Structure 1
Amino acid sequence: MRTLLARAHSAADAGDWQGAVDAYSAILRRNPGRADLRIQLGHAFKEMHCIADAEDAYRRAAEDAPDDPDAPFHLGLLQMSRGAPDAALAALESALSRDPLHEGAFDALWNSRLLPDLPPSLLARIRQALRADVADREAALARQNRRKQAAERHGLSDYASFRPAMTIPAPTPPAGTGPVLIQVDGISAAPSFVRMTLESLLASTHSDWQVIVHVDDKGMEHPVASLATVDPRITFISAHDQGRAPLQSAAISAYLTAGTWLDPEALGWIIHTFSTTEAQAATCDWDWCSHAWDKDLSHAAPEVHGVFDMDRLAASPVPPPLIALRNASRDGPLACEDRRRILLSLGVGARIAHIPLPLAAIGSIAERAKIAPKNGEDMPIWSQPRDGAEPGSGNLADAPLCVTYRPGRPPLTQGAFATGRDPIRVIIPTRDCAVQLNLAIDTLVQSASQPELLSFTIIDNRSAEPQTQVLLGQLASRTGFAVLHCDTPFNWAALNDLAAGQSGEPILVLANNDIEMLSEGWDDRLRIQLQRQDVGIVGARLLYPDRSIQHAGMIFGFNEGAPIHDGVGTGLSNAATDPRFDHCHACSSVTGAFLAIRKDLYVQAGGLDPVRFIVAYNDVDLCLAVRALGRTVLYDPGIELIHHESLTRGVNDNRKKVAWDQEELRALYHKWGEAIRDEPGISPWWARDAVYQAFRPLEKAQIIDYIARSADRPWTPRPGITAAGAPLRPKHGLS
């Protein structure tokens, strides 16, 4: 049998059609049900111009395999070649009935203009199948694109090879900009560090600059100071002679420490920023660089950030190596901590642009020098301490912040005002879960610094368990407790909005019934943070029972684009390596599982939206509304809780729940448009499907847009980004 089949195929391949007919016929006499071989027999007859025999072979094959579209397809082509369109239409119709996606049959009918003659019911099946096929192909293409992007992106370990792609030419500066005045703090710096900075300046693509290098007496005597005689743009000034400066004033001044390497495009981007925005100051991304005499600079440990964040800056272990100021009156250098303090002293509301490019690198001495003997002369390996310097507790210059320190954890920022005694109203919707509700209340009260200023509204939404009714009765009899019974279908926004409308306290806390407070004095910390002029909402760090992170603020535009919790699943042991989860910082949104806001701002923002966001995204919507009023949503890990997550209403673990969630997400998009994918707090360099793990390439236009955004109320939802025709806030009243 195998020999005969091989003979048939060989004959067909060689064009020996009679031999093929004989071999296929012999096989079919033994196995008459082989429709595939009968089609081959039909092909051979057709090549021999035995049309009637070919037609018979195709018909019998179609009968033997009633689901296979190939036999009627070939029969249709044969009829078409014979000039029998009606017979061809019937055969091709049969092929498409068997497989509505059969490309050959469809194309044959399309080319012969017979497609409209198909029965309407079959055309409807074909359209439906094609729509589904296109959707599948688009999904497959999207998966291919994601794989392509993943293959092209660069992880942290590939940063050195990716770094050249981050040197993006700056836009051409406008005429009449004037020189950039660069103040270099070289006092007590090693001459090699001074040289490194000056060499990077000399390689700048923007040549209109003046640099003043501030050094000590030894620096004035070192050969490196001779560079001032080589290039008139370079001036060395002794620390004892700060009054002699070639420029009395400059529209743009940049400040850095000797040993900071500047990207060739750094000055161009600084000029662009001040020329196109109203920024008072500018910062940039940066990294660390080292070198050997026969190798180029090697860059590592990138510090890529989102828009300027005062809290992050105040608590960061390493101050920015490069800052730029507009019309600065300061003539002297700025040491590391001075740069931090200058930015913080600009205060809330200052326009501080962030250039999302690594324009500066903290340099090290050459590799060979690191192992050289000291012999009485020592110098640090890095031009700026890698571990940074503590910014100091208490007020930071004129900034409305102070820094507090925690053993083994990053420092925390908070408002620099008195704590105060504002009463707080905690609102907790519940349905049964009496044990968990009681634990939530007990831990909130026991951990409070001023429990006498706490009041609770417990919203009973159809609790049925006897132990819950007993607990609610006990709570209703306690001072400072109110129990509202709401016999309605669950609507988280409506329940909270009802309680908020009946509350007279100046501070509201929306909380779930499945939390456990871990932080002592959480209430005073809320009061301090909510007294800040810039802060509108405060959220907390939420942990799973195993102490991994459940919520460290929310981020927009990553993974599939829907708002997601930052840091999910990160263990607390990674706090040292992932301090972004353990610093106070502005964020796009926080979860309503624990959310604090002043009552007057809650009312001004329109409260929660019980029409469009019944179950989910109501917290995101409120945060967006508060940001639209010019306030910041602050993530504060100084308040920590365990969150058992969705004990009452469950999680989205089936098609029905996911479908509901998607409808509310659609409502959020209709209301806020692309604002729900706009994430100013995270560097645009991070890959959207691998935040903090891999880099993606950016275009110059994206950099320009980001700079403009960062200098102008970066946390406010962007004008024009809201979906057309959708009001920003609903006009509903508080019940």
Structure 2
Amino acid sequence: MSAAGTRFRTNPVRWLAARGRSTPHVLRADKLRDAGNPAAAARAYEAALKVDPGRTNLKVQCGNMHKDAGAIDAALHWYESALADRPDDADIHLQAGHALKLAGRRTEALAAYRRVLALDPANRNASWELVQAGDEGEQMRGIAAQMTGHGLETMLSLSAEVAAMRRKLDEIAAALPDVASLAAFPAKAYRHFREIFDVPSPASLERPADLPHLTVVADAAGLDAAALHRLLASVVGQSAMRWRAVLFDVEPSLLVAVERLARADDRLEAAPAASEGAGGTAVLDLVQETGTDAVLFLPRSAAMHRHCLAWLAAAFAGSAADVLTFDEEWVVPGETEPSSFEARGGLDPEMLLQENGWGEAIAVRKTTLGAFDLARREGRRLPEPSDLLLSALRAGASFGHTPYPLVVYEGDGNARDAVRRKALAEHRQAVERHLRLCDLGRQVILSEGADGGPLHLEWRAGSPHAAITVIVPTRDNAEDCAVFVDSLFVKASDPDGLQILIVDNATTARSDLVGLDALAARKGVRVSRDDGPFNWSHINNLAAATSDTPILVFANDDMRMLSSGWDERLRGLLARENVGAVGAKLLYPDETVQHAGVLFGWKGSVIHDGLFEARDAAGPSGRWIKTRRASAVTGAFMAVRRDDFLALGGFDAAGLPIGYSDIDLCLRLHASGRDILWTPDVTLLHYESKSRGLDHLDTERAERSRRERALIESRWGAEVFSRDPTISPIWIDATLPYRLISFPAPQRALDFVRLTSRASRAETESARSTAACE
């Protein structure tokens, strides 16, 4: 207890007198609180505390009122004072955690919630906050708790009922997206998830009576008896009826295993060993000669899920995809249930050039396969997967992705890593061939990735010394602005090619005005003045109009550049005609990720990809360490060509003065046939919204943000923001991305196949993608 509180408690007369004098203030404060006037209530509680400083409950109320009024620092002061009285009060720690969360101090907020659970393990509010924040430890603890005392069975029974309700009442479920979390599992609990949930059959989908006929071409070279029988069991156990399977290069001593089954099922056969120098010719010739509609190339050691061919047939029948990719899972030898998985999004040509993150099992329509210019490699029976995918890109094929694990491999984490590293060597050969056939060899510098990671591509600038203007709005933040400007020049390959245009939006502090004058005196820096109300879009539009460089970068003032040669990276990427905007990797001060592109469709809205992940985390399919396409990138650091920006009319200063104007510009660039790229090759430290504050703590700003959201939805359609082709629907949006999983319903899965195939078709038809050799 505080010293003042102790003095009052040890003197009963003074304590009673103080309590009497404080009572009118407390009654008035309670009345103001109940009337919805938290700021006035906070002042009344403070008046009561001046008279009676030992009342811990009033300190908590005072903190609550300041928090509700948006005065977070004052709220934290009173919570800290209350905790000095009662350090083991879980509820005070909980309220402090909420205030820290509102202030954007995430690490401290999570620590407060963990302290709550240490004091009160059954506290559901703190547990839910951690789950919502993507805390894997709390998510796993929740699963473990559910598995105790038949809790798991109860939860799963409820989940089954909820799943049935969702199928029948889609509209209600759309209004209550967090219901999905009831049937969701933490990604790290995949083994438990698969013990209970299986890939659903596509039987419920509306499909043509005559489904496509598929031929499975399986590489059986080097398989031992156990692996061969596992493959055979997966073939003959297919739920689909129209298929043929050909196993190549079966060990002579094991041919009898195939022949034994082929006696009962003539859809199965083993192909003879390859003749010397034949390479993959015999396989492709066999496929062309059959009456099949599509072919599945099944790599060595892979086995199929029992609904694999049924789903491929349904996906081909229900979409315009020429090529189908899908997810995969891995089972540790000796175990029955898979323990890990790879959930992929739609195929991205940018990522494909760095690594084949879509697996070695690939399905292709027979009519499309004939247009592929595949490499003929000595001794290889099946096409090399990377070469197959890149050939499909060159042929203008469309790619759909089926969001289920349709193949399974044996191996632990070390085995997975070994397979990936081995594949990278063959992948590089395929990429080099692709660049050569596309006449891009002189435009790209190809190098090995760090520590056996993905290949690294550096695109050469068409104009190596193209000037860049960095536009930086600022207000009363000259010190941080100077740090940012210094970092831009220090880290640039060509500092003389940089122009920094600082737009001072009504700075009043004398020290900041002096700092801006000092910046204006520097070579390559210009400072302009804008005294009107803050309108981010208008300020940047005016600055762009007064610039004359071919490249513009829009940037916040509260950052620090970390990447050497960042300017050369931007010049190279924007030298490509198909690229409309480039975004950067932004880190919080604790070096967790703040921005790795923008995801659409998360809780029906947008969210930063990679949010709060470790700086060097790879992410699903390595998406946070590879240059890739994104639905949008943040205007906190966005590079564009000036001609493109002006041709589109710049940012929407009237309709979207602050928020969503960066999203809107990205959508307009994409509609004009341009790709939006995000790259980790340009990384900055970002002290988010330091100059402007936080919108949700200001009533007018919050209302303006809601209006901007409504406007952009009416402009582009809510459907645009409801899903993203780069992220698999296996990920549940009840918390942060990539934390919870649940198999999507069959119709939603087929919709994702259509979404991804439409997206890839539109990119091909734009005839702009250098990565796709257009």
Q: Give the TM-score of the pair, scaled to structure 1.
A: 0.68
- Distance in 2, Cα, partners of 1:160 & 1:462: 58
Matched, 1:264 2:311: no
Deviation per CA, 1:118-140, whole angstroms, max 9, x where unpaired? Answer: xxxxxxxxxxxxxxxxxxxxxxx
**C-alpha distance 345-383 of structure 1, shift in aligned 2 (>3 A):** same
Instruction: Determine if contact 1:169/1:265 at 8 Å carries over to the other structure.
Output: no
The yes-or-no answer on 1:359 pairing with 2:406 is yes
| 1:611 and 2:657 correspond | no
CA distance in 2, matches of 1:531, 1:198: 50
Q: CA deviation at 1:495?
A: 0.8
Give 1:509-524 correspondences, 5 Å limit. Answer: 509-524=553-568
Question: What are the Cα deviations for residues 271-321 of structure 1, in whole angstroms up to 9, with x where unaligned?
Answer: 3333343333221111113565xx8x4123121122112233444476503
Q: CA deviation at 1:535?
A: 2.8
Counterpart Cα distance in 1 of 2:743 and 2:423 = 33
Is 1:682 matched with 2:730? no
Tell whether the 8 Å contact from 1:170 to 1:265 is kept in structure 2 after alignment: no
Query: C-alpha displacement at 1:503, in angstroms?
Result: 2.4
Deviations 1:459-509 (A, max 9, x none): 122222344444444444555443322222111001111111232322211
CA distance in 2 between counterparts of 1:175 and 1:402 reads 50
Identity %: 28
**Contact persistence 1:184–1:214 (CA under 8 A):** yes
Match of 2:58? Answer: none
The answer to whether structure 1 residue 450 and structure 2 residue 486 are counterparts is no
Aligned equivalent of 2:348, options 303, 309, 313:
309
Q: Which residue of 2 aligns with 1:30?
A: none
Could you say which residue in structure 1 is the equivalent of 2:114?
none
Note if 1:538 corresponds to 2:582. Answer: yes
Q: Which residue of 2 aligns with 1:591?
A: 634
Whether the 8 Å CA contact 1:456–1:482 is kept in 2: the answer is: yes
Q: What residue in structure 2 maps to residue 563 of structure 1?
A: 606
Per-residue displacement from partner, 1:337-360 (whole Å, max 9, x unpaired)?
Answer: 921232134337641111112111
Higher Cα radius of gyration:
1
Q: 1:282 aligns with which of 316, 324, 341?
A: 324
- Residue aligning to 2:242: 208
**In the alignment, is the contact (CA less than 8 A) between 2:476 and 2:509 conserved in 1?**
yes
* CA RMSD, 1 decimal: 3.6
Cα distance change on mapping 1:229 and 1:551 into 2, 3 Å: closer
Return the alpha-carbon distance in structure 1 between the equivalents of residues 381 and 591 of structure 2: 40
Residues 693, 476 of structure 1: CA spacing in aligned structure 2 closer, same or farther, 3 A cutoff?
A: closer
Q: Does 1:709 align with 2:755?
A: yes
Cα distance, 1:255–1:227 mapped onto 2, change above 3 Å = farther
Please state how far the C-alpha of 1:641 moved relative to its aligned partner.
0.4
- 2: CA distance between counterparts of 1:384 and 1:211? 28
The count of aligned residue pairs is 559
Unmatched 5+ residue regions in structure 1?
1-140, 371-379, 718-735
Q: CA deviation at 1:186?
A: 2.4
For 2:446 and 2:225, locate their aligned partners in 1 and report how far apart those are by CA, in whole Å.
35
SS of 1:356's partner is: strand
1:194 aligns with 2:228: yes
Q: What one-letter code is carried by the residue in structure 1 that aligns with 2:433?
A: A
**RCO greater where, 1 or 2, for CA within 8 Å and sep 6 or more?**
2
Distance across 1 between alignment mates of 2:635 and 2:530: 20
Amino acid at match of 1:684: P
Please give the secondary structure, in 1, of the residue aligned with 2:198.
Answer: helix
Contact 2:648 2:668 in 1 (8 A): yes
Question: Out of 165, 186, 192, which is 1:155 matched to?
Answer: 186
Stretch of structure 1 that moved more, 536-545 or 278-287: 278-287
Aligned 1:612-631 pairs, distance under 5 A: 612-631=655-674
Gaps of 5+ in 2: 1-171, 764-774
* Contact 1:356/1:703 (8 A) holds in 2: yes
Contact kept? 1:185, 1:256, Cα under 8 Å:
yes
Separation in structure 1 between the aligned mates of residue 619 and residue 725 of structure 2, nearest angstrom: 24
Preserved contact between residue 429 and residue 459 of structure 1 (Cα < 8 Å): yes
Measured after TM superposition, the shift of residue 225 of structure 1 is 4.6
The amino acid that maps onto 2:297 is: Y
Q: Deviations over 1:408-445 (max 9, x none)?
A: 58436546555642322211111231111111111111
More helix by share: 2
Deviation of 1:201 (Å): 1.7
CA distance in 1, matches of 2:343, 2:198: 15
Does residue 248 of structure 1 match 2:295? no
1:103 aligns with: none
Question: How many Å apart are 1:172 and its aligned residue?
Answer: 7.0
Alignment of 1:130-169 (within 5 A): 148-156=179-187, 157=189, 158-169=192-203
Whether the aligned pair in 1 keeps the contact of 2:199 and 2:405 (CA below 8 Å) is no
CA shift, 1:236, in A, is 1.8
Aligned letter for 1:226?
E
Which amino acid is the alignment partner of residue 150 of structure 1? S
Larger CA deviation: 181-190 vs 451-460: 181-190
Q: Matches of 2:362 and 2:631 in 1, distance apart?
A: 25
Q: 1: distance between equivalents of 2:173 and 2:403?
A: 28
Amino acid at match of 2:753: I
DSSP-derived class of the 1:678 partner: coil
Change (3 A) 1:198 1:314: farther
Quick one: which amino acid aligns to residue 359 of structure 2? P
8 Å Cα contact 2:448/2:454 also seen in 1: yes
Which amino acid in structure 2 is aligned with residue 355 of structure 1? T
Select which of 456, 471, 474 maps to 1:430: 474
1:226 maps to 2:259:
yes
Is residue 255–residue 334 contact of structure 1 (8 Å, CA) maintained in 2?
A: no
Counterpart residue identity of residue 685, structure 2: I
Q: Give matches, 1:565-584, under 5 Å.
A: 565-572=608-615, 574-575=617-618, 579-584=622-627
**TM-score between the two structures when normalised by the length of structure 2:** 0.65
Q: 1:144 to 1:485 in 2, by over 3 A?
A: closer
Q: Is the 8 A contact 1:507 1:598 kept in 2?
A: yes
8 Å Cα contact 1:623-1:633 kept in structure 2: yes
Distance 1:458 1:155, change over 3 A: same
Partner-residue secondary structure (3-state), 1:385: helix
- The Cα shift of 1:682 comes to 1.2
Alignment check: 8 A CA contact 2:469 2:500 kept: yes
Q: 2:384 aligns with which of 338, 342, 354?
A: 338
In 1, distance between residues paired with 2:663 and 2:199? Answer: 35
Secondary structure in structure 1 of the residue aligned to 2:669:
helix
1:592-626 CA-to-partner distances (Å, cap 9, x unmatched) read 11101122322343321001111111111111222
- Does residue 322 of the first structure (1) align with residue 361 of the second (2)? yes
Give distance in 2, aligned partners of 1:502 and 1:678: 38
Match of 1:550 in 2: 594
Alignment equivalent of 1:385, drawn from 419, 443, 463: 419
Q: Over residues 111-160 of structure 1, what are the superposed CA-to-partner deviations in whole Å (9 max), with x where a residue is unaligned?
A: xxxxxxxxxxxxxxxxxxxxxxxxxxxxxx99996675332223321331
Counterpart code for 2:749:
I
